[in-house]
Amino acid sequence: MSESTPDIPPSAPSTPSPPPQPPPVSPHPYPPPHDYQQPPARPIGCKRFAIFGLVTLFVLGVIGVCTLVGTIFLFAVGTDVFDVLSSEMQEKAVTEKLIGGNPSAEDKIVIMSIEGIITSNADGFVVKQIRRVVSDPKVKAVVLRVDSPGGTMAGSDYYLHLLKKMKTEKRIPVVVSMGSIATSGGYYVSMIGNEIYAEPSTITGSIGVIASLFDASELLKKVGIESTPITSGVRKTMGSFMKPMSEEERAIWQNLIDENFDRFKKIIREGRREFRDNPADLDKLATGQIYTANEAVSNKLIDKIGFLDDAVAQAGRLANLAEREYKVVQYRAKLSFVETLLENRTPNNLLSGKTLSEMSTPKVYLVCPHVIPIDGGK
């Protein structure tokens, strides 16, 4: 018996598979978020680290320099460090401007000035001008230009002292040229002149001394203020505006005024030979009155009426210099670094803090009350 094979059904006809379809196209050109991969971080190399270090050092250096400059500037403003100069540097703080004469000449006639309110300034522009004259061997004569209503007795006396010392050491003539006003302390310092010139419109005179004192005690009572000072003596508050002045205090102040007034007239007699032998003539003029230039000439308070160039020409003649033998220079103030930036101090700053402080403190003044608002008394 033969072995039978199973029946194999005939294979069904195969159907072809559909072709593969492309993936759907996204309407956006960017890949889907899940396909984005963060690029690997780049390691910081030595080169990049060096550049970073250099930039950091540069920034720190700039900050340090700015801090240092700012500190120096603030220190200079607070202490005037730029004004702490040696003697030689102080002479350079005064500059010269050629205004006439022979520019190629060696010898000089210097125009120096005293202007504005006179205060006690031992290192101010007037003192620097005097130092410059003393240190310059080419200066053969000085024209002192005075345009001042006066100021403190101490300041006027100090400037006259320095001018006398300069004149003696240099053995040079000094001619005074008065500007628009030369009264009281301005007339006081003019006594240095070998001759005194005044312009036709000059106001001068006001020979006298004043102490400006105020009594605000009644006003203080009205506003409910009472002064209770603790003093070491009964006269320590003498001159205070917080209380009325007693007769005893008035006598003390009057004695102080009289003594300084005597000195004022003594200085005039020394400077004006016309009054040396005739002090009574000066007493008639020394009433505090102001005078015009014509009146001053008539009363022998000045020598001549003339302008600045007339005074310069006379200085040249007194120094025995021909016109072509000298040049004329005028001193100017050279501002310090701080002064240039702030411009809060000038040689003639009438409203500077120092000037206001000087004028508001009880002192003896050689000042014209017609120009400066100071009470002339009763």
Task: Give the per-residue pLDDT at 242.
Answer: 80
> What's the pLDDT at 233?
84
Q: Is the pLDDT score of 109 beyond 60?
A: yes
pLDDT tier for residue 3 given thresholds of 50, 70 and 90: low
Work out the average pLDDT over 218-231.
83
Arithmetic mean of pLDDT, 101-129: 92
Parallel, antiparallel, or unpaired: how do β-strands 107-115 and 326-333 relate? parallel
- Contact partners, residue 200, CB within 8 Å, separation at least 6: 293, 294, 305
Query: What are the b/e assignments for 226-260, b being 16+ CB within 10 Å?
Result: eeeeeeeeeeeebbbeebebeeebeeebeeebeeb
Kindly tell me if the per-residue pLDDT of 228 is higher than 60.
Answer: yes
- Domain 87-367 adopts which CATH fold? 2-enoyl-CoA Hydratase; Chain A, domain 1 (3.90.226)
Choose, from 148, 156, 177, 184, the residue flagged as catalytic: 184
Q: Has residue 373 got a pLDDT over 90?
A: no
- C-alpha distances out from residue 62 to 54, 57, 72, 73, 207, Å: 12, 9, 15, 16, 61
Q: What's the pLDDT at 346?
A: 45
CA distances from 333 to 62, 128, 141, 201, 375 (A): 35, 9, 20, 27, 33
* Residue 89 exposed, middle or buried by CB count within 10 Å (0-12, 13-18, 19+): exposed
Residue 263 neighbours by CB under 8 Å, 6+ apart: 157
Active site residue 156: no
Active-site position among 92, 97, 138, 236: 236
Global confidence as pTM: 0.70
Report the candidate in 319, 286, 317, 314 with the shortest Cα–Cα distance to residue 300.
286
**Mean pLDDT, the chain, as a whole number?**
80
Q: Assess whether pLDDT exceeds 70 at residue 118.
A: yes
pLDDT tops 50 at residue 87: no
Could you tell me if 345 and 339 are in contact, meaning their C-beta atoms sit under 8 angstroms apart? Answer: yes
Q: Which long-range contacts (CB under 8 A, 24 or more apart) does 265-270 make?
A: 265/207, 267/160, 267/188, 267/191, 268/187, 268/191, 268/207, 270/191
The average pLDDT across 38-55 equals 63
Tokens of 46: 């030595």
With contact defined as beta carbons under 8 Å apart, do 112 and 130 qualify?
Answer: yes
- Which residues, 6 or more positions from 359, have their beta carbon under 8 angstroms from its beta carbon? 117, 365, 372, 374
203 beta partners: 181, 292
The domain limits of the chain are 87-367
User: Annotated catalytic, 236?
Assistant: yes
Query: Tens of pLDDT along 313-345?
Result: 999 999 999 989 999 999 998 766 555 554 444
User: What is the average per-residue pLDDT within 14-25?
Assistant: 65
| Percent of the chain whose predicted confidence (pLDDT) is above 90 | 50
Higher pLDDT, 279 or 323: 279
* Least-confidence region, from 147-156, 165-174, 241-250, 267-276: 241-250
